[in-house]
A and B are shown apart, each in its own frame.
Chain A
Amino acid sequence: MRNEYIPYPAIIKSIQAESFDTKTFKLVFEDNALAMAFDYEPGQFVQVSLLGIGEAPISITSCPADTGFLELTIRAAGRLTRAIHQLKPKDKIFIRGPYGNSFPIEQVRGRDLYFIAGGIGLPPLRSVIRAVFDRRGDFGKVKILYGAKTPDELCFKEELRVWKQMDDTELLITVDKPDERWKGNVGVVTTLWNKADMTTSSGVAFVCGPPIMIKYVVTELLQSGFKDENIYITLERYMKCGIGKCGHCNIGERFVCIDGPVFTYGQLKKFPVKERAIA
């Protein structure tokens, strides 16, 4: 029997500051065989820990094609993530996983894809966006709608420029609070609906962001013609184990950690209203 609670040491290779409170960590497992064998799907997460501090679920930002390393984009929000932000390259961090289900890439071949992210919601979507761009020809149009509080809080600033240049791809960005240099859109992510043609009957949407954003985005998506089963939402919940045991991420009879974190809106609608906390 495997001991699922034992994490494996990984070394921080580099750290990219994304904003004042968010950093992307590039990690390589200390054990080379594990580093090469570690396999995951876009949308999955790992349990990240520092010994003596604690453990938390963090979604994987890198893409399965990035062999040998793992990227995690982490906002300093709690005790553990603040401690992780103090780390330097060559420091050790502990990882177990990957856990949870993933975004369905194979099933959406040939379809138009719409990615809607709010704030720290872009990192989990980046994994699937990268996987899509790796085989761009397999999919229809790609639209990425991304909202952040301030221009500083936009993640992957360099990469956003690259995405903008991709074939048949529309990238629209908005911020709630512009600074003096900001020339782009201002407002919450749903205000981008006026700028992008979102009308579709067969498009597939991938949504990640804070609960209040998900609520408004789903309403807009439904009005634009998206079907319940074509809206994929990745949920966040407090988790302690990641393997369907500790109980913290329960919604109805489901566990976000093993049945999710990716659910269609069709599935979400069947969850008890009092527990789903969105839409």
Chain B
Amino acid sequence: MKEQLLGKDSVKALCMSASDRWETYVPIETIGQDVQFIKLENQTKEITLDKLNLDYEFLLVPPKVMLFPQIESLLKFQDGKIIETVKPQARRLFFGLRACDVKAMLFMDDFFKRNFEDIYYLNRSMEKLLVIVGCKRPLENCFCTSVKTGPFLEKGFDLQLIDIGNKYLVEIGSKKGKEFVASYGRFFDEASEDDVEKSNTAKCNTEQAVSLRLDFEKAIKKFCEDKVPNQIYERIAQRCIYCGGCLYVCPTCTCFNVFDEQNARFGGSRYRNWDACVFEGYTREASGHNPRLEKWVRTSRRYEHKLKYDYLTTKMSGCVGCGRCLSTCPVNIGISQVIEEVAKN
């Protein structure tokens, strides 16, 4: 299917319509101008959409939260009997994702499918439609062009929207995307050569605006060849306060803890919640033995998991260059600095 056009003034109507058949999630400006993806719910769709912000610059909490919530129940129990809590598969439309975050979601899909399938994640993720709205003003901590995860994608998305003024040029990336455009045809028009030309210019402009450039390939090669000196981690360990913030906002971090909570009436829940490998208790065994007791070893795990082990396993980097870790860090440490230092050495 040829590229399409979607008028900016049609976006809300399209989301309204689509939300009848899809669980629809859109970026919404919330208190304090924070943007987060919110599900359009029956009675409040219009009010929610009033705060739609597709031009957001920073989405602190990564979209993974919609597939892998910060905390979720794995099962409930009552009087010694287990009650399953897994939700049925849902068709979800994610409208307004950035390219780097889509790459991260695809990375997570692959992880949760590998070896044992994770039904909680996959039921949320299998039937999803990924609509990118391309980035216009990359932040200073972003480095997607170096990791080749953005600001626009060649594939992996269902639809990719590029801002060309008062309209979006719509690229179709999959059969699902094509079907979506066909079933909401009244909102779309066919794009002209001129529109495509405009979109190419817009893509170039964003790409050039990504200012942080790293020799990512060189760094990955050094990680994979085991040529990264431990001193790099020891230096970071002196500054890092081990709060785990960088890992909570990382769009590809999948680690979790499992714990039980019991009420006074012999019922309760088993939950899982996000965990972080930099915490001392993360690897501490009941015997007291802790294979990653030393701080610098935990730091090494944090970076090598993304830049070495993920790459060795999947040929995909676990870092998508979104810059959230640096933006969040209270002591100004980011994975980009580590990549830079490794590449330079």
Q: Does B292 contact A (CB under 8 A)?
A: yes
Is the Cβ of B260 less than 8 Å from the Cβ of A4?
Answer: no
Q: Does B82 contact A (CB under 8 A)?
A: yes
| Shortest distance between the CB of A56 and any CB in chain B (Å) | 7
Residues in A with CB closer than 8 Å to B74 are 5
Interface contact tally, CB-CB below 8 A = 130
Q: Does A44 contact B (CB under 8 A)?
A: no
Query: Could you say which of A1, A7, A55, A245 contacts B256, with CB atoms under 8 Å apart?
Result: A245
Is the Cβ of B297 less than 8 Å from the Cβ of A274?
Answer: yes
Is the Cβ of B82 less than 8 Å from the Cβ of A7?
Answer: yes
On whether A247 and B277 interact (CB within 8 A), knowing A81-B286, A240-B256, the answer reads yes
Cβ-closest chain B residue relative to A212: B289
Residues in A with CB closer than 8 Å to B345 are none
- How many residues on the A side are at the interface (Cβ–Cβ under 8 A)? 44
Is the Cβ of B305 less than 8 Å from the Cβ of A250?
Answer: yes
Is the Cβ of A51 less than 8 Å from the Cβ of B82?
Answer: yes
Is the Cβ of A51 less than 8 Å from the Cβ of B289?
Answer: no
Looking at chain B's contact residues, the main secondary structure is: mixed
Q: Complex: how many Å from CA A211 to CA B283?
A: 14
Question: Size class of B's contact patch?
Answer: 35 or more
Is the Cβ of A6 less than 8 Å from the Cβ of B286?
Answer: no
- Residue ranges of B at the interface with A (Cβ–Cβ < 8 Å): 74-75, 77, 80, 82, 84, 86, 111-112, 114-120, 122-123, 230, 254-262, 266, 268, 270, 272, 275, 277, 282-287, 289, 291-292, 297, 300-301, 304-305, 308-310, 312-313
- Residue ranges of A at the interface with B (Cβ–Cβ < 8 Å): 1-7, 9, 49, 51-56, 77-78, 80-81, 92, 94, 210-211, 236-238, 240-241, 243-248, 250-253, 258, 272, 274-277
Q: List 27 A-B contacts (CB under 8 A).
A: A1-B117, A1-B119, A7-B82, A49-B270, A51-B268, A77-B286, A77-B287, A80-B286, A236-B285, A237-B291, A238-B285, A243-B118, A244-B114, A245-B111, A245-B116, A245-B118, A245-B254, A246-B256, A247-B277, A252-B309, A253-B309, A253-B310, A253-B313, A275-B291, A275-B297, A275-B301, A277-B289
